[in-house]
Amino acid sequence: MTAIEKVKIARDPKRPHLKDFIDGIFAGFEELHGDRLANDDRALIGGFATLEGRSVLVLGHNKGATVEENMAANFGMANPDGYRKAMRLAKLAEKFHLPVITFVDTPGAYPGREAEERGQAEAIAKSLEFFARLKTPVVVVITGEGGSGGALAIAVGDRVLMMENAVYSVISPEGCAGILWRDGAKAPEAAEALKITAADLKKLGAIDEIVKEPAGGAQKNRALACKNVKKALLKALAELDGTDPDALIEARCEKFAKMGNFHK
């Protein structure tokens, strides 16, 4: 399958979204609201739940399956309030020594004027620093689109899992083609050059594990997709159990600092 074909699957509105994963993997999810400063961003939601009887914090980009749901959630594009809410909730998880699980599925942070006026860049930068130094295990699952800083803001973790047909990139193929060639029709070439597939990113060391999907994509069998993600989450958490918080932070920072260093 080509990279642009993977992009189309990752964007499929029938693909499982955050609420599908919450319902299919966790029990007793209790959503918490607001950043305590300005707003309750519906594009990024979070709350406490249990995973096989273990309490965890679940955070993720919220998309919908219909146009109405997408509009209510701003198509999964978070404002600064969303990232500040994520940090507020993750701080609670750290206080109670609970692991944080994040689900990434966004075309990017909201680029509107009001978001910029409220400090979008600062919120993303602060979130990167915050999650890098969080004293509790963080496991990331890239489930659909992982777009730019809007995705990375909640993707700094000890283990980064990526679903087989998800994509993860600094820019969309269409945006890249528009910048490099001023021609959106060259998006397929841009997708190949960007190395945005799970297989490419695993080779580059940007992710830790690829989560297998049902034949044809996760949208063909949501229950099986959730089962596979749950199995990968339990494995990742088991690997991190008992790790000293300072050692977690040191290993996490080293992991991300090494990215982008290439040797001939």
What is the tens place of the pLDDT at every residue in 164-204?
999 999 999 999 999 999 998 999 999 999 999 999 999 98
pLDDT at 212: 96
Confidence of residue 264 (pLDDT cuts 50, 70, 90): low
Please state the rounded mean pLDDT for residues 120-148: 95
Please state the rounded mean pLDDT for residues 137-160: 95
Confidence of residue 238 (pLDDT cuts 50, 70, 90): very high
Give me the half-sphere count of Cα atoms (radius 13 Å) on the Cβ side of residue 41. 33
Q: Considering the chain, what percentage of its residues have pLDDT values greater than 90?
A: 81
Angle, helices 173-180 vs 187-194, to 10°: value is 110
Phi, psi of 100 (to 5 degrees): -110, 130
Confidence of residue 216 (pLDDT cuts 50, 70, 90): confident
Is the model's pLDDT at 101 over the cut of 70? yes
pTM: 0.93
Is the model's pLDDT at 123 over the cut of 90? yes
Give the contacts of 250 (CB within 8 A, at least 6 positions apart).
Answer: none
Whole-number Å distance between alpha carbons of 121 and 110: 11
Is the model's pLDDT at 262 over the cut of 70? no
Is the model's pLDDT at 128 over the cut of 70? yes
Whole-number Å distance between alpha carbons of 163 and 141: 7
Whole-number Å distance between alpha carbons of 57 and 47: 6
* Average pLDDT along the chain: 93
Whole-number Å distance between alpha carbons of 127 and 77: 15
Please state the rounded mean pLDDT for residues 27-52: 92
> What CATH number labels 3-257?
3.90.226.10
Phi, psi of 48 (to 5 degrees): -95, 145
Is the model's pLDDT at 222 over the cut of 70? yes
